[in-house]
Chain A
Amino acid sequence: MRNVTVRILKPGLQTTVQAGPRTGQRHLGVPASGAADPLSLALANRLVGNALLAPALETTLTGVSVRFERDGFAAVTGARAKVWLNGERVKRHRTLFAAEGDELEIGPAKAGARNYLAFAGGVDVDEVLDSASTYLPAGFGGFRGRALRAGDVLAVAPVEEAPERLKTPKDFRPPAGSSWALRACYGAEVDLLDKESRFDLFDTNFSVGRRADRMGLQLEGARFAVKSGGRLASAPVFPGTIQCPEDGRPFLLSIDAQTIGGYPRVAQVARADRHLIGQLRPGDHVRLLWRDIDSAREELLAKHVYWREWLPDISTII
């Protein structure tokens, strides 16, 4: 097949090329980046026959529209949103064929925050620091290190043959709603919370604040008394770390989070549920469910067993 190119018509609020995370470089200050919801990225890539973490488009809240400059195959997964091909409604979670000149549009997310638009072959961009993913704060990776703009033309890597036409089985379509439960373990400085705050942390209906991006999200609904005196030695933080600064308002770090932080780390979202962070949007409700670290592991392994049926490499995704 000939190389496919895709032209961005409407870029939406923030559409970037995202693939797998950068790993093993946090000691150099290099954050993970990559798909904020890697499970949805994998589901999209699965439908077009790509490696599960092949580079694809990640939209934010408002969707995107693109025109195929050559025939190609695509798939859409992630947030709840309408999708149109040349103005006709098409479904998410299946392999779509687009002919030369066809326009594919993803509408605004009605629940969840991010959609993934994968093309058979994967978006063809260079790797920077071992990943194709865009890291916006430093302007590297992805397409010229930036969010996509109208008129950008993306190359898609060639494929040997057309992908099999697939639908994601119903049991493997993560539902996007407005209430989320995140399993979480205690963080390193949980003891800086008084006993009551420690209890409340796992018994509060949080709502996601207006500050919610790929760096992290403000959790609102309760304030917690922290006894750090503002003088904590800077320590490593990771996606999923919940920090509680002196103002008492917890902040949940996401995929682009910095590598070092100076605020008490009160909790850590369990690995099994970190992919959900990428779908949280302002106003969503969030509960933290306390787990001891051994139960968190059992539940991760159980989740892997469940997903392996559709995504054999699930343990490389979540």
Chain B
Amino acid sequence: MPSSDDSAALTPPVFPCGDDLVAAECADTRSAQALADHLRESGQWLECVAGIASCVARFDLATISPADAGERMLSALRTVPAALEAGKDVVEVPVCYGGDHGPDLDDVCALLGMDRDTFIERHTGEAYRVDMLGFTPGFAFIGGFDAAREVPRRPEPRVRLQPGSIGIAGGRTGIYTLPGPGGWQIVGRTPMRLFDAGAEQPFRLRAGMLVRFVAIGEEEFAAECAT
């Protein structure tokens, strides 16, 4: 019978996720992000990825033992600088709410007991922080929309979302950058291109940036798409 105690060196908050993956528990997304950035800067890891409340690093198992990797992660936890405050620059993301662009807007409003205008006012009312990019290239998890904390994902994911679709789930706003399936409640769509593999800067948003949503009408949406 295998035991789950893989190595004495890897004790919480640092634990193995596999033979070449080591994880650290983090208090929140911001500190997970700070740890991942800190690890990446050291140049000792193949991948450093932050989750909502953890950070996982992949190391070269051919040259580094799991115990050494655990030690390095522990020492990084001791030396990681405090999570940086988000920059002051705010990226404005135009959003056309509701209609064909936001088929779940009415359901979300009903769930929250507010009308459309109130929802849009709240969603555009403050700047939110990009917690992380992930899932697919450039997909942005944007935190801080506390009014929608109780909004669940859709029971059945939609099969084909348009790129730029703006989804809401569990107090977060997500921006889909690719066409494809998705389970968040879609409240609108941005004409802004947030990921372009061929561009010199493929990612418009990065973790830590501030984003403010700006409501636009159908005509403006069409005009922006045309440019």
Contact = CB atoms under 8 A, between A and B. Distances in A.
Which of A29, A233, A270: most chain B Cβ within 10 A? Answer: A29
B62 A293 contact: no
A300 interface: yes
A293 B197 contact: no
A185 B5 CA distance: 11
Interface range on chain A (Cβ under 8 Å from partner): 35 or more
Interface string B9-40: 00000011111110100000000000010001
Nearest to B53: A233
Interface stretch (A81-89, A107-115, A157-165, A187-195): A187-195
Nearest to B67: A294
B49 A188 contact: no
B4 A190 contact: yes
Nearest to A32: B47
Interface residues of B, number: 51
A23 B62 contact: no
Given A23-B47, A268-B19, A137 B136 contact: yes
Interface in A261-317: 265, 267-271, 290-294, 296-297, 300-301, 304, 315
A259 B51 CA distance: 10
B180 interface: yes
Contacts of B148: none
Given A138-B178, A188-B17, A27 B48 contact: yes
A140 to B, nearest CB: 4
Contact of B49 (A190, A259, A294): A259
Interface in B80-118: none
A129 interface: yes
A204 interface: no
7 contacts: A27-B49, A137-B180, A234-B52, A238-B56, A258-B136, A267-B18, A270-B18
A27 B50 contact: yes
A202 B7 CA distance: 20
A312 to B, nearest CB: 14
B20 to A, nearest CB: 5
A186 interface: yes
The main secondary structure of chain A at its interface with chain B is mixed
A191 B65 CA distance: 24
Interface of B: 1-4, 6-7, 15-21, 23, 36, 40, 46-56, 58, 61-62, 65-67, 132-139, 141, 177-178, 180, 195, 197-198, 202-203, 207
Nearest to B172: A234
B176 to A, nearest CB: 11
Given A187-B17, A235-B53, 15 more contacts: A26-B47, A27-B49, A27-B133, A28-B134, A29-B139, A141-B197, A198-B4, A234-B141, A236-B23, A259-B135, A260-B51, A271-B61, A291-B19, A294-B66, A304-B62
A315 B20 CA distance: 14
B18 A240 contact: yes
Contacts of A296: 19, 61
B19 A191 contact: no
A190 B49 CA distance: 20
B63 to A, nearest CB: 8
Given A29-B138, A300-B61, A293 B19 contact: yes
Interface of A: 23-24, 26-31, 128-129, 135, 137-141, 145, 185-188, 190-191, 198-199, 202, 233-236, 238, 240-241, 258-260, 265, 267-271, 290-294, 296-297, 300-301, 304, 315
B51 A28 contact: no
Given A27-B49, A138-B178, A258 B135 contact: yes
A234 B65 contact: no
A28 B208 CA distance: 12
Contacts of B202: 129
Contacts of B21: 238, 268
Contact of A293 (B7, B134, B139, B195): B7
A304 B61 CA distance: 11
7 smallest beta-carbon distances between A and B, as pairs: A268-B18, A140-B197, A296-B19, A235-B51, A233-B52, A260-B134, A236-B49
